[in-house]
Every structure is written in C-alpha cells, then in structure tokens.
Chain A
C-alpha cells in the first residue's frame, strides 16, 4: 500500500478509516481533524494515539489544551482504553497545557518555546512517534498577539514534522471555513472533516477526507459511529456484480415450500423478497428460515425494525420455533432498531458492521418497508441496493420482508427492489365467504423450476405447513370453503360406495333366487325321469306277461300237439 501510494502511512486502528485511506494517516506528518463541537474529534485523536501505543508499538504524547488528562482517561475507559496503564508503561504521555488569561499579562515580544520544550521532553522521555494536539485553537483565546501565535503554531507544525511525528491536530469548525482559526492553511498533508448533522430529526455522523496529499482516497462522505466499540468509519460503496455463485440449496425450514422448488429450496446466497399484507405471515416465514439455519449450525442475523428481540422469540414460540438455545449458543443474533433511530446511511452502516462482525450465512431484514416512512424513496432504494449487493458479494443468503398495503392490482414493491431479488414469495391474506385465509405463492425463484400453485399457508404450534392445492369449480379453494368442498367430496364418496354395496347385495340375492329355481326344476326333472322309468318297466312287464299268457292259452287249446308246434 505504502509503496504504491508513494507515502508512508500510519495505521490509526480506527475501524474502516484505515481501509478508506489505504493505510491510515500520513506518517511523520500532521493531520488536521476538524469538526463542530461534539462530533468526535477528541475520540478520533485518542483512538489514534491509544492504538498506536498499544497495538503498533508507537508511543504517543497527548497534548491537551482543554480537558484535564484525568477526564480524557475517564472518557475513553469505557471503550477499553487503559490510558493510565499505558502511561505507567511509558507508552503514553499526557501534557496538559493550560493558560488562564486572567492571570497572564502580555508585555512585549514572546514566543511559545515553553510548549516546544515540554513537548520535546515528553517525546524524548517515551520515544514517541505520535502526537495529538487537542485543541490547539484554545491558545487563540489565551493570547492577544495573534500574529505571534500564528507564527508559533506554524513553527510547531514544522517542528513536529521535522521530528518525524505523526500528528493529529484537532480543530473546531469555523463559520464557512474548515477551522475557526484557519489552521488548514498550515496543515497541507491531510485534512479530515467530521460532521454531525440532523436531518428530519435524525442525526448522522459523517466523515469526509477533504485533502490527502500524495495518495488516493475515497472522497465521499462516510457515516461513522461512536458507540461502545469506539470510533468506527463505515465505508459504504456500491459494489460490483462479481459475487460468488452457489449451487447448494438452502432449506427454508418449511419442507412444503422447498418442495415447490425443483431441487429443494433456494440457492445459497440468494436474496429473497417476501411481500405481503399485514398479518400474512412474513415474519413467521423469515423466522422459519432463521431457525432452519441455526438448526443446521449456521449463523443468522435477524434485523427487526418493528419488534424487540424478546417479542420475536416469544411470538415465534407459538409456531413451534424455539430460538432461545440458538441465541445462547451464538448462532442467532437479533438486532432491533426503529427506522427513525438512525439515518438510512447509518442503518446501512450498522447492518454492514454487524454482518461483518457476526459473519452469518443468513440475514433477515424485517421489514424493509419500515424505511419508506422515514426516508426518501430513492435513498431507501439505494440503501437497500447496497445492502443486497453487499450480502450477495459475501455469499450470504438474505430475506427481506416487505409490507404491502394492497394486494389488488399490480404487484409492486415500493422500493422497486423486485428485479434485484433472486426469489420472491408473495403472501396473500384473502377474504372469501366471511373469513381470511393465508396463501403463499412463489412468484419468482431465479435459476430453478418451481411450482406455479397458490398454496394455503397454515401456521400452527407444530410449525408452518403448506396445504396441497385444492382446486374447486371456481379455482383454488382455501379455508372453510376448502374444507366444505373436501367434506362434500367425502360425502359423495361415501354415497357412491354405499350404492355399490347395495347393487352387489341385490345381484347376489337375484343370483341366489335363480339358483333356487334351478334346483327346484332339477328336482322336478328327476321326478319325471323316475316316473318315466317306472312307466317303461311296467310296460315291459306287461308285454312279457301278455306273451306268456298267450302261449299258455295256446298250449291249453291244442292239448297234445305241443310237440308239433315246437
């Protein structure tokens, strides 16, 4: 970095700032940090010094013209800066230069050699590489001879430069100028402007690098943050479309939804928009994604702009999603902030920082429509665009819920985000026959074949289910209509089965009757045959008897001529 930009730089240890300046402030040169009261100048300077002493082996001298050294140490103690300890280890020195104008009279020519002597002593005592002057402009109220003062300040800056001190000079912002006393004239290497402005009752801290001689640097205004982690600058820039592409699928926690997509779920790294009217189950669906990720052992952040973390955890327990163990294990992080709490830039910056710190595989923003009320449409769109870009570039799957005010007519998102999204789930809550029923439709799932069906979305204590589509005469049916229709079908089926049974029984009876008839006729036939046999036998017997009788009569008539006859 240093070689490519030509000048040596010293890391400040301020998160984001070192990236932005490709290495920090210019080494061995003065840097002017200016801004209005309360915008974080002293904190910037202190962070620079403490990090130098603690992390980069560069001891530093803090010259304070206003606050007492003890106050400065106390102010930064909450950030984990042990100023006292660093002083004890000779890594840091405090030099309090205070002048009470009431006890000083100026008579004749003078210079500020006293400051030089004290500074030199302090620098040599600890082998300092860094110096902070906070705020040297206080001298202007102490001395009446401004010409001498200006000459001496210029000499001081030159002297520090000659000694190779990396110096941060803080200065109050003037009216229409960067500093009240025009100190920027004396510092030509690096000028940083801190700003604290309030727009629509929302305050934003911003930082801009006004000048940085001899190096490339970002020229935009960057939001910065002062919180429990100290001073951090959040470089927010639009990124290219060179994000990683995954073939892997990410289950949503709703098996029925995954089944609607051929391959089983959305691709990893997808950005999914869930839009729907109030109460259509957007948050529940998002929570289900988060829960599923945690169950797989992945990390997820849930940014909520309407609900407190405790509320989400409680509410989701009602659909069988227990977040508490995963929150405890550090797999799920809830971040809640009202949209009006920060400016849009700040929200974005904070979200990016949270994501960078937590390194999740899934991020949920619930709901993005909350920003519409607090910001300009274009600004919101640009913010979300950068968020989506950032998440995609990082290969993080993301879900954005969007509250629609109407589900009639054209389906649009206020933020105009639909084209950015890889997936779009539409949640409907439709009234039919006196009841509202939730429906889910997969409007878009890039790169996958997916179902075109509107599915009924049912939340119960055992989780979220999508009921199979039921198509009635008038289209897909849901809720009671669906149940009614199903019951009707069931009744028809019962009736049909009964009818079959009845027919079967009837036929069986008829068959049996016929059988009986057959048997009766057979019996009659048998009787007839027996009669016939008896008649035939009688006839034969009769004929034989007749023959016998005739012979015997013949014999008796002829008397003795039986032999002749034979």
Chain B
C-alpha cells in the first residue's frame, strides 16, 4: 500500500454487455476493492467498441484480465469467479 511509486495496472478486456463480461467486471471490482484496495489501477476495455486493441494486445479469449505492470505480463482468462485463484495468479511473483 505504500509502494504507489511503482505503477501497477490491470486491464480487463470484455466484449459488449455479455453475462460473462458483466460477471468479470463485477468480480474484478470486488477483488480490487476488497482484497487489493489501492494497489492497482484498473481499466476496462470493451473490444466491441475498439476491436483493433484485440490484435494489438493479442487477446483471444473473452474476458481476459491482463496485468501489464509490473512485468512480466500475466493473463487471466475467464469470468474471475474464483477469487482466491485470481489472487494467487496475480501474486505469483512473490509480492
């Protein structure tokens, strides 16, 4: 919580208002607010609005959560329904 100097960024790619996308947005919000409050800057990208980004960021599955920073890039696909697994995946680097 004190290391705000090092930027941490999560991007969630969704496609339209599908149930899976909505579930993923809700789950991510819950996780970042309840478990990682203030640690991550979160951005939600709707690829329906901006399909070019899919190629740019090599997105295949929807929804995909990308932890862009810190490196290395981690990707989590799915609706993020398992909170504990999401946290494990985001913390593999021993943070």
Contacts and interface: CB of A to CB of B under 8 A. Distances in A.
B82 interface: yes
B48 A105 contact: no
B21 to A, nearest CB: 9
B52 A107 contact: no
Which among B24, B78, B86 has the highest number of chain A CB atoms within 10 Å? B78
B5 interface: no
B11 interface: no
Contacts of A115: 60
Contacts of A105: 74-77, 85, 89
Interface in B45-95: 47-48, 51-52, 54-55, 58-64, 72-82, 85-86, 89
A144 to B, nearest CB: 10
Contacts of A120: 51
A110 B74 contact: no
A114 B20 contact: no
A104 B75 contact: yes
Interface residues of A, number: 25
B77 A104 contact: yes
Given A111-B62, A112-B60, A118-B55, A103 B47 contact: no
Interface stretch (A92-100, A348-356, A383-391, A558-566): A92-100
B15 interface: yes
Interface residues on B, range: 20 to 34
A107 B86 contact: yes
A117 interface: yes
B55 A121 contact: yes
A229 interface: no
Given A107-B80, A114-B47, A121 B85 contact: no
A103 B15 CA distance: 21
B75 A117 contact: no
Contact of A117 (B51, B79, B80): B51
A139 B60 CA distance: 10
Contact of B62 (A98, A106, A110, A143): A110
A368 B77 CA distance: 63
B76 A117 contact: no
B51 A107 contact: no
A117 B89 CA distance: 26
B82 A113 contact: no
B30 to A, nearest CB: 13
A107 B54 contact: no
Contacts of B81: 107-109
Contact of A114 (B54, B73, B85, B86): B54
A110 B61 contact: yes
A110 B79 contact: yes
A97 B78 contact: no
Which among B62, B81, B85, B89 has the highest number of chain A CB atoms within 10 Å? B62
Nearest to A145: B78
A143 B59 CA distance: 13
Contacts of A122: 55
B14 to A, nearest CB: 9
Nearest to A113: B62
Contact of B61 (A95, A98, A103, A143): A143
Contacts of A106: 76-78
Contacts of B20: 109-111
A139 B74 CA distance: 18
Contacts of A107: 76-82, 85-86, 89
Contacts of A121: 51-52, 54-55
Contacts of B13: 114
B54 A117 contact: yes
A112 B81 CA distance: 18
Contacts of A112: 60-62
Nearest to B19: A109
A118 B15 CA distance: 12
Nearest to B48: A117
A271 B52 CA distance: 64
Given A105-B89, A117-B51, A143-B61, A110 B75 contact: no
Nearest to B52: A121
Which among B13, B55, B77, B86 has the highest number of chain A CB atoms within 10 Å? B77
Given A103-B75, A108-B78, A114-B13, A98 B58 contact: yes
A97 B85 CA distance: 26
B77 A113 contact: no
B18 to A, nearest CB: 8
7 contacts: A97-B60, A108-B82, A111-B61, A114-B13, A117-B59, A118-B54, A121-B55
Given A107-B79, A110-B63, A111-B61, 14 more contacts: A103-B74, A107-B81, A108-B27, A109-B78, A110-B78, A111-B62, A112-B62, A114-B47, A114-B60, A114-B62, A118-B54, A118-B59, A121-B51, A139-B60
- Closest 7 CB pairs between A and B? A108-B78, A108-B81, A113-B62, A108-B79, A114-B59, A107-B78, A113-B15
